[in-house]
Structure 1
Amino acid sequence: MPNLNQPETVLDFPILVGDIGGTNARFAIVVDSYAEPREFPVVQTADYATIDEAIQAAILDQTHLLPRSAVLAVAGPVDGDEIDLTNCDWVVRPREMMAGLGFSEIVVLNDFEAQALAVVALGEAHMEKVGGGEAETVGSRVVLGPGTGLGVAGLVHARRTWIPIPGEGGHVDLGPRSARDGEVFPHLEKIEGRVSAEQILCGRGLVNLYRAVAAADGKEARFSDPAEITSAALESSDPTAVETLDLFLTYLGRVAGDLALVFMGRGGVYLTGGIAQKILPALHNGKFRTAFEDKAPHGELMETMPVFVITHPMAALAGLAAYARTPGRFGVETAGRRWKAR
């Protein structure tokens, strides 16, 4: 447990906060403990060879503010002085970044750790409920979001502090259960012989599932883009897309329910990211909620657990900004994830 009263948890303002995903990178600058973060246009990771180039060109060259510290959330495990991103070619090298961009210190978190922080930072105005009872005020929470990959994090309350729990839960096994699953799963693209949740529950996973449904029925797969598939499904213009989205909702409900059981998520399960926001109407059709609650012998327990879709377009940045302002509010362990200029 980190000592939340240690003075070194405080960061020097202004603070650059960044949410670095596989496809997009979002940045803002927090000027002080009271100001709203100043957001910058979304950066496409493919447009820059390195994260350092992106920060210099897209942020520092566009403002008179000179951040003294940085808090970055990255899509991948944080381990060592060279941090590889799971679904992007960028490598975060904090020591080189401090030398080249002038930061005095850098904290690097997992991207879904930032999403977990956002669950506390955001209010009800930025969430839409998808069934279940009332969330317990200090009950454990689960955050997951299908995007470029499938991010997962937990959030627990202890010693009057919210503690985010990062992990790689998107890579848990996901297997067939129904007769239809048995027809579809043999056609799914696998990684080293296994189907993880992320092989289905992300953008490329949606395409993987769509192709598998088409193959199971001996049909041609008309679409190769996730947005095309979801649009066709929501418009009911393509039967294969409609079933694909229904199965996607079912599998998302299964995984979300499993994670809710792991964390005993009486504080709620929170779906985040662009895909969840786009398919929000379909999340109310019952497929997701039925699968979420189908956890015998704990069906009655699952019925009480609420699910929310986070609708804020910059949720992770809101979480990072909340941490940057008042790090003592959160039990974030920074050992091995905080670098200071010598």
Structure 2
Amino acid sequence: MTVQQHSSLHPPAQPAPHADGPRLLADVGGTNARFALEVAPGRVELIDVLPCKSYPTLADALRAYLASPKVLAAGYGTIRHAAIAIANPITGDLVRMTNHHWEFSIEAMRLACAFDTFLVINDFTALARAVPHLSAGQKRQVGSGTAREGSPVGLLGAGTGLGVSGLIPTGDSWTALLSEGGHVTFSPANETEVAILRFAWREYEHVSAERLMSGDGLELSYRALAHHTGQPDEKLAAADISRRALAGDDQLCGQVIDTFCGMLGTVAGNLAVTLGAQGGIYIGGGIVPRLGERFDQSPFRKRFEQKGRFVNYLSQVPTFVITAEYPAFLGVSTILAEKLGA
């Protein structure tokens, strides 16, 4: 198990340690659970990534992290406060993950772990709260546009699922939207996407945006395009599709990635006009940041602006890829600090 020490969210000024001890931060997706300790404002240490499939419950993964040799060796003692971002809607005490089998009671876990404070936050709500804190080196602009200060901001990202959120300015702060926008009905924009949708209808009565803009969605689009173009279906996993596309030696995989990026552009443009997001659209998640320059050269930005009479409006809205390695920690740290008043 690899644990990274002294990985700081902000550059080097050394703030005083939290008076009540380190705070546990976590970012839990359908594939991996990421843990860290915030020992002082903005100073995060002992980051570790645990595969969800290796643990029967979230509590087991959390306990494994806290019991890891390097965390124990750090000698921080009892952890009183914790905040977890999780890829799931949070509508009450019981949490059942959409893209994994974990489920738990927030209060029962707080008591079992002896936390004074235990916050469970939708992962894209947390990521949205991180956006205002991103440095220039933690994001990359794709295409034209200039952010308008004091305007709403949109956020989406594809990984195990498709997360969507937004930020609405409220005085000197922001309100993050509790959105499940990844589950809106998928809307095709050309004949190829119509063919993909027809193929997907064979398996799903309702085809959401997430069905196609996610890791599983890459695999579904691959099968659909292989069928549509009469090419062999090699039953590739999402990681292999991306790898072959980036290597440039598989035309079908390249078409899958370009189609994915175009569909994501349509969803991002829909989000921008829905929110009036003239502060920009930010893209996180596990898939797009790994595509690098291939994403910049993809149909994404053209499709983002492709809204008929609103082309000029959208051409002025900037789009950014979040390149920070662990951006959700910024968001959960901010929310937990607000809860504790420091």
Give the TM-score taking structure 2 as reference length. 0.88
**Aligned partner letter, 1:165:** L
Give the deviation of 1:191 after TM superposition: 6.2
Q: Distance in 2 between matches of 1:230 and 1:285?
A: 15
What is the CA deviation profile of residues 93-152 of structure 1, one whole-angstrom value per residue up to 9, with x for unaligned ones? 222222221101211110100110111122111001001221123221111110000011
- One-letter identity of the residue aligned with 1:310: I
Q: How does 1:144-155 map to 2 (within 5 A)?
A: 144-155=156-167
1:38 pairs with one of 45, 48, 57:
45
Offset from partner CA, 1:181-215 (integer Å, 9 cap, x none): 23332212566422210011000100000110000
CA distance in 1, matches of 2:315, 2:230: 37
What is the DSSP-based 3-state SS (H/G/I as helix, E as strand, rest coil) of the residue aligned with 1:312?
coil
Match of 1:254 among 255, 266, 274: 266
Q: Which amino acid aligns with 2:36?
A: A
Residue type matched to 1:235 in 2?
A
Find the aligned partners of 2:93 and 2:298 in 1 and give their Cα distance.
Answer: 45
290-299 or 180-189: bigger deviation: 180-189
Residue 131 of structure 1 pairs with residue 138 of structure 2:
no
Go from structure 1 to structure 2 and tell me whether the alpha carbon gap of 1:35 and 1:176 turns closer, same or farther (over 3 Å shift): closer
**Deviation at residue 158 of structure 1 after TM alignment:** 1.3
| Aligned twin of 2:56 | 49
Contact 1:171 1:198 in 2 (8 A): yes
Within-5 A mapping of 1:258-297: 258-297=270-309
Which range moves more in the overlay, 184-193 or 307-316? Answer: 184-193
Structure 2 distance, partners of 1:286, 1:218, is 24
Instruction: Select which of 76, 90, 105 maps to 2:88.
Output: 76
Residue 33 of structure 2 is matched in structure 1 by 25
Q: Residues 11 and 69 of structure 1 are in contact (CA less than 8 Å); yes or no, is this contact kept in structure 2?
A: no
Q: Which runs of 4+ in 1 moved over 6 A?
A: none
Superposed, 1:1-342 pairs within 5 Å as 13-32=21-40, 34=41, 36-61=43-68, 62-63=71-72, 64-65=75-76, 66-188=78-200, 192-327=204-339
Q: Take 2:228 and 2:194, find their aligned partners in 1: how far apart are those partners?
A: 10
Shift of 1:28: 1.4
Return closer, same or farther for 1:87/1:38 CA change in 2, 3 Å cut-off: same
CA distance, structure 2, for counterparts of residue 190 and residue 11 of structure 1: 57
Q: State whether residues 35 and 65 of structure 2, in contact with CA within 8 Å, keep that contact through their aligned partners in structure 1.
A: no
Q: Aligned with 1:26: secondary structure?
A: strand
Q: In structure 2, what residue type is equivalent to 1:50?
A: T
Aligned position for 1:335: none
Select the structure with the greater relative contact order (CA < 8 A; seq sep ≥ 6): 1
Q: Give the length in aligned residue pairs.
A: 320
Q: Shift of the alpha carbon at 1:286?
A: 4.6
Contact 2:36 2:45 in 1 (8 A): yes
**Mapped partners of 2:335, 2:19: distance in 1:** 10
Give me the whole-angstrom Cα distance separating, in 2, the residues matched to 1:11 and 1:169. 39
Do the aligned partners of 2:258 and 2:298 also contact (CA within 8 Å) in 1? Answer: no
User: Could you say what secondary structure the match of 1:37 adopts?
Assistant: strand
Residue by residue over 1:254-274, the C-alpha shift from the partner in whole angstroms, topping out at 9 and shown as x without a partner, is 000000111111111111122
Moved more, 177-186 or 72-81: 177-186
What residue in structure 1 maps to residue 6 of structure 2?
none
Structure 1 counterpart of 2:197, one-letter code: F
* Cα displacement (A) at 1:59: 2.1
Q: Is the Cα contact below 8 Å between 1:135 and 1:305 reproduced in 2?
A: yes
**Separation of aligned partners in 2, 1:164 and 1:120:** 11
2:176 partner SS:
strand
Kept in 1, the 8 Å contact 2:262–2:298? The answer is no
Task: Give the distance between the partners of 1:316 and 1:228, measured in 2 at CA.
Answer: 26
Tell me the CA shift for residue 236 of structure 1: 2.0
Give structure 1 stretches of 5+ with no counterpart. Answer: 1-9, 331-342
Select between 225-234 and 196-205 the one with higher mean Cα deviation: 225-234
- Asked if 2 retains the 8 angstrom alpha-carbon contact of 1:120 and 1:319, the reply is no
- CA distance in structure 2 between the partners assigned to 1:223 and 1:238 by the alignment: 14
State the Cα distance separating 1:298 from its structure 2 match: 0.8
Deviation at 1:301, TM superposition (A): 0.5
1:6 alignment partner in structure 2: none
Closer/same/farther in 2, CA of residues 29 and 106 from structure 1, 3 Å limit: same
